[in-house]
Amino acid sequence: MTAPGAVAAGQALPGLLDGLDLIRADFPILTRTLADGFPLVYLDSANTSQKPQVVIDAMVDHLERHNSNVARAMHQLGAESSAAFEAARDKVAAFLNAPSRDEVVFTKNASEALNLVANTLAWARGPLEIGEGDEVVITEMEHHSNIVPWQLLTERKGATLRWFGLTDEGRLDLSKIDELITERTKVVALTWVSNMLGTVNPVAEIARRAHEVGAVVVVDASQAAPQMPVDVVASGADFLAFTGHKVVGPTGIGVLWGRREIFAQLPPFLGGGEMIATVTMERSTYADIPHRFEAGTPPIVEAVGLGAAVDYLSALGMENVQRHEEAITGYALEGLATVKGLTVMGPTTAHQRGGAISFEIEGVHPHDVSQVLDSRGIAVRAGHHCAKPAHKRFGVQSSTRASSYLYTTPAEIDALVDGLEYTKKYFRVG
Amino acid sequence: MDLDSLYQEIILDHYKNPHHQGLREPYEAEVHHVNPTCGDEITMRVHLSRDGGEPVVADVSYDAEGCSISQAATSVMTDLVIGKTVPEALAVHEEFLTLMQGRGTVEPDEEVLEDAIAFAGVAKFPARVKCALLSWMAWKDATSQVLGAEALRTDRATADAETKEQR
């Protein structure tokens, strides 16, 4: 086992991003000092990521020089704004390897994207219609935003919600897959990477089984899109959602990608401007995707920021970001293993694992852990991380979560481990 | 950041050795309160007794899971309210609420708040104020349920009596 601190002494950790210091310099907030002069150690990136200067600048530039509404404005600024907004769609489509830019719909966040699918499926008629006796399958490791919409859908339609359980190691229990995914299954919705356990799920394998029975596959990529290459075609998903603010972009914008053949069959979600073909007093007809699902003035400057964000990630290379995450996560897992009384929930090796590490420390409540860490400038999350069923599965009410990202250094992990030892001393445990 | 002002010795003592813990009989109301952001939970039972005058808090029992602040606040609260009349206990509750909402500017009155003065530092950490208030909110809810039910019963008895008189 590598002792924490070994890397800080000057050895390079294999897999880290080249020029990590220069990359960190792209993120102005990382130079902040907090109360009592502690430098910020930001280990809450699964909650929201920090933003590079290029994203901030792109948004400021848009507001300073190009601001106007999109599509509806026929003047020069309107054309510029529309071009910038639609260019962002192209960038996101490229980031996801989407076959068509029209398959990319901008939403408010990942929650709205998932609710869009669940609600329009509830309203769908014909082959996509869900009724009594039908089943929707999700997993015990979902974020509440990929649980509640399906609870609402199944309650409204008299359908049944079924769950993949978890193994003690925090992986999906696939042993009952043939009992769960059956001819009655209409939807399989699952997260690609768990926001609590860090687990990376075999999405393509599950999608293949789901498609064999004709089910629609919905993938929550909120934690996957920031950390690994996402190829929507290879993933096997029919719908895939993620949010802008976790991929170094702004809040207020999310993405729903959908396979055209299915997406185009869904009825409208929100009614309003820009989503119509024509409106008469008797009835309306609707625009094709993507605009059918973008009623009202969209998040324009947020889209511009998201476009800059995915460009930034693509320039770094998502394979490189993934390698960095794996290296840092492995280093963090080794460091945390040296803290007596600490139990990690989820896989304990970096293989097939994302950068979110949730843990508990015997005798100290997660809120108190995060409070003491915060007093040393270390930002983590404490609570149920909007994944209450997953916490219940592991017999805990809440946990402390440290989550790294492309700008995280081994020295920051060392600070976390030191901070946890200090926390134990403060609460006189171990 | 003054961590010691948040985690005073009294708080850590109550956290390690909570008073009046466990769920007991008899009780007139049981409530379950949750802090939705962090998941802290408390099940609380309140038993009021009455010897003619104001209702008295005869017992407060609970089963709770949460951080040091919420656990200690529950323990201190039971010490403060058990044995007091409901109006007296509500007055302490008001005093504690004022302290918690004072953002560190309120000087606590030890005569009224006793061990609860240790929570003065919590008021400087806005994110933790709700931890300190969880059990107080549960107690107030349970108590008003008992009194509400009693008031209802009294009202109905009065109404019944009036109906009878009219016949």
pLDDT at A246: 98
- Nearest Cα neighbor of A66 from A305, A291, A235 is A305
Q: What pLDDT does B127 receive?
A: 87
> Residue A408 pLDDT > 70, yes or no?
yes
Share of chain A above pLDDT 70, in %: 97
Distance CA B72, CA B131 (A): 10
> Which residues of A are tagged catalytic?
386
Question: Mean of the pLDDT values across residues A116-120?
Answer: 98
**Rounded mean pLDDT of A180-194?**
98
Q: What is the pLDDT of residue A115?
A: 98
Given CB atoms, is B64 within the 8 Å cutoff of chain A?
no
Residue A9's pLDDT is what? 44
Q: Is B55 near chain A, with CB under 8 Å?
A: no
Binary contact (B128, A427; C-beta < 8 A) = no
Question: Which whole number is the average pLDDT over A154-169?
Answer: 97
What was the pLDDT predicted at B36? 82
Looking at residue A1, what is its pLDDT?
41
The ipTM is: 0.81
Distance from CA of B61 to the nearest CA of A (A): 21
Question: What confidence tens digit (pLDDT) does each residue in B79-90 have?
Answer: 999 999 999 999
Quick one: what percent of chain B has pLDDT higher than 70? Answer: 90
Q: Which residue of A has its CA nearest to B71?
A: A365
Query: Is the predicted pLDDT of residue B150 greater than 80, yes or no?
Result: no
Rounded to an integer, the average pLDDT of A373-402 is: 94
* Mean pLDDT score of chain A: 95
Q: Determine the average pLDDT of the residues in A213-230.
A: 98
pLDDT at A4: 47
3-state secondary structure chain A: CCCCCCCCCCCCCCCCCCCHHHHHHCCHHHHCECHHHCECEECECCCCCCCCHHHHHHHHHHHHHHCCCCCCCCCHHHHHHHHHHHHHHHHHHHHCCCCCHHHEEEECCHHHHHHHHHHHHHHCCHHHCCCCCCEEEEECCCCHHHCHHHHHHHHHHCCEEEEECECCCCCECHHHHHHHCCCCEEEEEEECECCCCCEECCHHHHHHHHHHCCCEEEEECCCHHHHCCCCHHHHCCCEEEEEHHHCCCCCCCEEEEECHHHHCCCCCCCCCCCCEEEECCCCEEECCCCHHHCCCCCCHHHHHHHHHHHHHHHHHCHHHHHHHHHHHHHHHHHHHHCCCCEEEECCCCCCCECCEEEEEECCECHHHHHHHHHCCCEECEEECCCCHHHHHHCCCCCEEEEECCCCCCHHHHHHHHHHHHHHHHHCCCC
Closest CA in chain A for residue B2 = A375
Q: Is the pLDDT of residue B165 over 90?
A: no
**CB-CB neighbors (< 8 A) of B38 in chain A:** 366-367, 382-384, 398
The nearest alpha carbon in chain B to A376 belongs to: B1
Q: How much is the average pLDDT of A319-333?
A: 98
Question: What is the pLDDT at residue B155?
Answer: 59
Q: What's the pLDDT at A78?
A: 94
Q: Which chain A residues touch B40 with a CB distance below 8 Å? A: 367, 397-398
Percent of chain A with pLDDT over 90: 91
- pLDDT value of position B126: 87
Mutate to test the interface with A, among B67, B131, B134 (most CBs of A within 10 A): B67
**Mean pLDDT, chain B, whole residue set:** 89
Q: State residue A276's pLDDT score.
A: 87
Stretch among A96-105, A290-299, B106-115 having the lowest mean pLDDT:
B106-115
* Interface contact B95, partner A, CB < 8 A: no
Shortest Cα distance, chain A CAs vs residue B130, angstroms:
12
**For the residues B37-55, what does the mean pLDDT come to?**
90
Span A395-411, average pLDDT:
96
What is the reported pTM? 0.91
Give B-chain residues touching A36 at CB under 8 angstroms: 1
Q: What is the average per-residue pLDDT within B140-146?
A: 96
What pLDDT does A308 receive? 98
pLDDT score for A11? 56
Q: Which residues of A touch B37 (CB under 8 A)?
A: 383
- Which segment of A312-316, B48-52, B71-75 scores lowest on mean pLDDT? B48-52
Residue-level pLDDT at B50 = 87
* Of residues B1, B6, B128, nearest to A35 (C-beta): B1
Residue A191 has pLDDT above 60, yes or no: yes
Q: What pLDDT does residue B158 have?
A: 56
pLDDT at A52 over 90: yes
Which residue of chain A comes nearest to B13, CA vs CA? A427
What's residue A389's pLDDT? 93
Beta-carbon contacts below 8 Å between A and B: 47
Taking residues A78-84, what's their average pLDDT?
Answer: 95
